[in-house]
Structures are given as structure tokens and as C-alpha cells.
Amino acid sequence: NSVIFWFRNDLRISDNQALTQAKEYADKHQLPLHAIYLATPAQWQQHDQAPIQLDFIERQLNQLSQSLAQLGIPLSMFNVNDFQAQMDWLITQQQDGHIKQVFAGLEPEWNERQRDQTLLDSGFPITFTDEHCLLPPMSVKNQHGMMYKVFTPFKNRWREIMQSVPVEPLGKLTAFAAPTQAQPITLNCDKTSSQQWPTGEKAAHQLLRQFCKQNLADYGEQRDYPALHVTSQLSPYLAIGILSPRQCLAALLAEFPNAIVEKTPAEMWLNELIWREFYRHLLVAFPKLSRNQNFNALANNIQWQNNPTDFQKWCDGRTGYPIVDAAMRQLNTTGWMHNRLRMIVASFLTKHLLIDWRWGEQYFRQKLIDGDLAANNGGWQWSAGTGCDAQPYFRIFNPIEQSKKFDPDGKFIKDFVPELADVNAKQLHQANTFTEKGYLISEQYPLSIIEHKAARERAMATLSVMKKQN
Ligand code: FAD
């Protein structure tokens, strides 16, 4: 009869409230404490979880297994296929007398919440904590008691509430028992190497500290330039919970203690942490977001072109627009993409190519090491103009202007599109077309699949179904 801590997307030991509670409970009742991870390969496939993210999870689980063994807490992985099987497994274990009480952290996605609610409703002995956000979903409400649909008032209210919420992360977990032997963990699924990203809480905290010391103050001015590499690149760690949002905010406040109350150089990075919360709160408030639906129902009338050849060229980074192609190749080779570029390629797919944002969202999920339903769905619907806080449909990113502005020397482009290494910076920011004078950019590089002006006009005409009726 044991106390179980169930790891999900909170793959850390420090500042893990559910794990701390599990340990306190086990201490108090003098029961053994076990940590488990219930792997769900069928669910991962259904949710298009990226092989690189699964590899990252597997590596982190092995780190955890070692660290927990030192604390006398064994970590075991069980393969159970999907969410239903997770519940069946837990219930069987409990009926067989192996489980006294389970502790776990809540997740914001619909299927996950349904699973947790079913367990609670069945009387299964499970205690949840809600800490994937700094403020739990449904706790930041407007004057009508509803979730905000627009970011800025949400942010203002969030900051108001946070002024009276302690930000201090939980202290270090002390040993529970004598050290045990760590079990190696292998996830039974497709994986691609995530070695480029160090795992482990120590490494994650080092990256966090380094970012806060070196880049936080200038983040506001520099964050839009992908060649500068000045954003935190902590998204993979936040997505699977190697870092908690509280730890990130605490690190920010260590540099700028008044950042919640007043404007400081950390303002823009704080905003990003709040965007993360905003999209998670939306996912909980509007379950249709987990079900592939447009946030704005007017978008249901859009006649997407959905040309599979264009889509494939976009996926492969062969559109003939260097900034778009460099970005997609960054995604394909590293599993990560800079935020400005995510906006550029998402606008290009949904507006220039008139391809349904859901195709792009799925492709991102299949490739991203930081894949996260709330942020991905939020980012795609924002870019397509189908979401809440909608970027109006008629604002269409011009990939040529974006390229000139945010990669003026073409350094980022050249890093990822080697066939353009010798092209001068001036020539790089165009679409590659063939004229009487020859190729505008290079013969070695794909011709552009669409002309900007015509694409813009087509998008304006097609997306005008989103015009609000008065
Ligand atoms: P930083 O700029 O250092 O920001 C710090 C943290 O804040 C990030 O790690 C992330 O957790 C959070 N954050 C930053 N920007 C956003 C944002 N706009 N929305 C929500 N959270 C944010 N982010 C994901 O984590 N997973 C995704 O699957 C994802 N898909 C996206 C798809 C599209 C089309 C767009 C436009 C954005 C998407 N984002 C996603 C948001 C954002 O691009 C990434 O979080 C960011 O680029 C990660 O880099 P960073 O860690 O250096 O971020």
C-alpha cells in the first residue's frame, strides 16, 4: 500500500507541489513513496507528439530516475498505451491494494482534464495540484466573472492579482529514504535525437540564470532578431515542466524585484510568461480550442485552398522566400523556431498560401521540441486571424519586409539555407523569381511558389468572410 506521485508534464523535483505533498503524506502515514510515469504511445501518436520531444522526455525521465533514487524514491515507467489505459491501470493497482493515495499536477488540455475528472468522479484516491501556471485557470476573471478574451486586460488583472501571491519556489526536497538503484527508462515510440538540448534541472536552471543575467535587460529591444540568439530558449523546459513558471518568474524578480508592480527592462519577458498563462487559461475556458475548432466562428466560412504541393514546399523550406525557408529548415533540423519566424511562416501558410491553420499547427506539433497545445493553438489562431485577440485578417505579414527588418544582414538565412551562403545581403530579401536578367536570387535556390502582391489580394478577398457584420 503505497503513496504514488504520478509524473506528467511536470518532470522536475524542485518546486513540484504535488511531489512535495506526496512525500509529506507518505512521511505522515509512514508509507512507501513511489514515483511513476505512465507512458501512452497510442495517445502520443493521436496527438502528433514530436519524436524529438519524446526523446527529450525520455532523457529527462532518466535524469529524474537517478536524482530520485538518491532521495530514496524509486521511479518506474509503465507502458499503458492511452489515457483510458492509464485510468484502468491505476484502478487495478488500487483494487489490488497497491495504492493508498495518488498525487499529480493538473494539465490544461481537454482529454487530460476529462481523464482527471473521471478519476475524481469515480472516487479514486487522487489529489491534484494546479500549478502549470502561476495563477490557476479560471482565477483571472473580468468584472462579469468570465475569462478574458483579449490579452491586455487579462495581463493587467493577472499582474494585479500576482502582487499578493508569493513567488518563492518551494524549497529543496529532502531525502525520503536510503538511496535506491535507479531504473533505466526507455519509451517505446519513435524518437529523434534531442541531444542538442541538455536535460536535467541543473542544466535548465543554469540556462535560466544565464539568460536573466545576460539577456533579460535587452530582451525588449533584441528579441525579434533571430540571428542574435537572445531569447531564453527555455520553451522546451517549460513545455514538459523541467522548469516551473514560478521558478522563471522568481529568476526574473531576482534581477528586477519590482517587475510586477512597475515597468522595468524585464517588462517584455514578463509579458511572454503571461502570454503563456493566457493561452492556458483560454484552453480551459474554451474546450473547443482543444478540439481543433476556430475560436472565431466567422472563420468557419473561410474557403481554404489547401494545396498539398504548396504545403509540402512550405514544410520542406522550399517556398522561394528565404526567410520562410530558413525558418522552416530551422524547425526541421533543430526542433525549435524563433518566435518572430513562427509568426512569419504561420502568416505565409495561412494568408499567402491560404492553407488551413490546422495543417500548420499539426506540422509544428510533429516537429517541435517545445510542442504545447495551448501556445501552439494560440499562436496559430492569432497568426491566421481566427483566434481571440485576433490579429485582423487583413493584416498580412510581408515576408520581404519582415526579412529586411529582422534579418538585415541575412545572417540567420545563411545559417539555414546554405545554397544562399554567397548571395549578398541586399539580394536575399526577395522572392526568387526568374526574369530576363536571370534568377533574382540564385539558380541553386527554389523559385518562389507565389507572388506576394497577388497572394495578398487573394487572401484579402478570401478572408473578408471574417469581416464583422454591423
Ligand atoms: P522567450 O521569448 O524567452 O519567452 C519565454 C517563455 O515564454 C517561452 O519559453 C514560452 O514558454 C513563453 N512564451 C513566449 N512567447 C509565447 C507566446 N507567444 N505564447 C505562449 N507562450 C509564450 N510556444 C511553445 O512553447 N510551444 C508551442 O508549441 C508554440 N507554438 C507556437 C506557434 C506559433 C504559430 C507561434 C506564433 C508561437 C508559438 N509558440 C509556442 C510561442 C513562442 O513562439 C515560443 O514560446 C517561443 O518562441 C519560445 O522561445 P523562447 O523560449 O526563447 O521564448
Write the DSSP string, 182-209: PPP----S-----TTS--SHHHHHHHHH
Q: In this structure, is residue 184 part of a structural domain?
A: no
Residues 311 and 458 in one domain: yes
Task: Specify the pTM.
Answer: 0.97
pLDDT digits (tens, 9 = 90+) for 203-235: 999 999 999 999 999 999 999 999 999 999 999
Percent with pLDDT over 70 in the chain? 99
In a domain, 185, yes or no: no
Q: Half-sphere exposure of residue 298, counting CA atoms within 13 Å on the CB side?
A: 16
Are 41 and 160 contained in the same domain?
Answer: no
How does pLDDT run across 148-207, given as a tens digit for each residue? 999 999 999 999 999 999 999 998 899 999 999 999 999 999 999 999 999 999 999 999
Among 262, 285, 308, identify where a domain stops. 285
Q: Grid coordinates in use for 137?
A: 485557470
> Is residue 392 scored above 70 in pLDDT?
yes
Closest residue by Cα to atom 30, ligand 1, is: 376
Last residue of a domain, one of 82, 116, 132: 132
142 and 124 within one domain: no
What is the spatial distance between Cα 60 and Cα 451, in angstroms, rounded to a whole number? 45
Contacts from 309-316 at CB under 8 Å and sequence distance 24+?
310/353, 310/355, 310/449, 310/450, 311/349, 311/353, 311/355, 311/359, 313/446, 313/449, 314/345, 314/348, 314/349, 314/353, 314/355, 314/360, 315/363
pLDDT-derived band at 393 (thresholds 50, 70, 90) equals confident
Mean pLDDT in the chain? 96
Number of folded domains that form the chain = 3
Q: 275, 314, 359, 382: which is the annotated catalytic residue? A: 275
Q: Is 380 a catalytic residue?
A: yes
Q: Is residue 88's pLDDT more than 70?
A: yes
Q: Is 339 a catalytic residue?
A: yes
Using one digit for the tens of pLDDT, what is the confidence trace for 59-83?
A: 999 999 999 999 999 999 999 999 9
Q: Strand 75-79 vs strand 33-39: parallel, antiparallel, or unpaired? A: parallel
pLDDT per position as a tens digit, 273-284: 999 999 999 999
If 0-12 CB within 10 Å is exposed, 13-18 middle and 19+ buried, where does residue 431 land? buried
More confident residue, 469 or 276: 276
Distance 152 CA to ligand 1 centre (A): 17
Q: Which helix (H) or strand (E) is 283 found in, with range? A: helix 267-285
**What is the rounded average pLDDT of the residues 135-147?**
96
Active site residue 275: yes
Query: Are residues 107 and 11 part of one domain?
Result: yes
Query: Cβ(386)–Cβ(464) under 8 Å?
Result: no
Same domain, 65 and 23: yes
| Residue range 32-64, pLDDT digits in tens | 999 999 999 999 999 999 999 999 999 999 999
With H, G, I as helix, E, B as strand and everything else as coil, classify residue 101.
strand
Q: Is residue 194 part of a domain?
A: no
CATH of the domain at 244: 1.25.40.80
Cell 546554405 found at: 418
157 shares its domain with 230:
yes
436 catalytic? Reply is: no
- Give pLDDT, residue 437: 87
Ligand 1 pocket, CB under 6 A: 223, 231-235, 238-239, 272-273, 275-276, 279, 338-339, 342-343, 346, 364, 368, 370-372, 375-376, 378-380, 383
Same domain, 306 and 395: yes
Q: Which residue, by CA, sits nearest to atom 11 of ligand 1?
A: 235
Same domain, 410 and 308: yes
Q: What is the pLDDT of residue 469?
A: 60
291 within a domain of the structure (yes/no): no
357 is known as an active-site residue: yes
pLDDT digits (tens, 9 = 90+) for 394-427: 789 999 999 999 999 999 999 999 999 999 998 9
Q: Are residues 87 and 54 in the same domain?
A: yes
pLDDT at residue number 395: 82
All three cell numbers of 93: 493497482
Give residue 470's pLDDT: 47
Q: Residue 285 pLDDT more than 70?
A: yes
The residue annotated as part of the active site, out of 79, 272, 332, 419, is 272
* Structural domain boundaries enclosing 108: 2-132
| CATH number for the domain harbouring residue 117 | 3.40.50.620
Verify that 163 and 140 share a domain, yes or no: yes
325/273 same-domain check: no
For residues 66 and 10, membership in a common domain is answered with yes
CA distance 159 to 459: 37
Q: How confident is the model at residue 388 (pLDDT cuts 50, 70, 90)?
A: confident
Binding site feature residues for FAD: 219, 231-235, 269, 272-279, 370-372
Q: What average pLDDT does the segment 368-381 reach? A: 97
Which residues contribute to the annotated binding site? 219, 231-235, 269, 272-279, 370-372
Residue 240 included in any domain: yes
**334: exposed, middle or buried (Cβ count in 10 Å: 0-12, 13-18, 19+):** middle
- CATH number of the domain encompassing residue 345: 1.10.579.10
- Does the pLDDT value for residue 286 go beyond 70? yes
Whose Cα sits closest to atom 10 in ligand 1?
235
pLDDT reading at 468 higher than 80:
no
Amino acid at 375: A
Q: 223, 231, 235, 282: which to mutate for ligand 1, most atoms within 8 A of CB?
A: 235
In a domain, 176, yes or no: no
For residue 466, the model assigns a pLDDT of 87
* Ligand 1 centroid to residue 273 C-alpha, Å: 9
Distances (CA, A) of 292 to 92, 193, 277, 371, 378: 33, 29, 20, 15, 11
Active-site position among 44, 357, 359, 382: 357
pLDDT at 390: 60
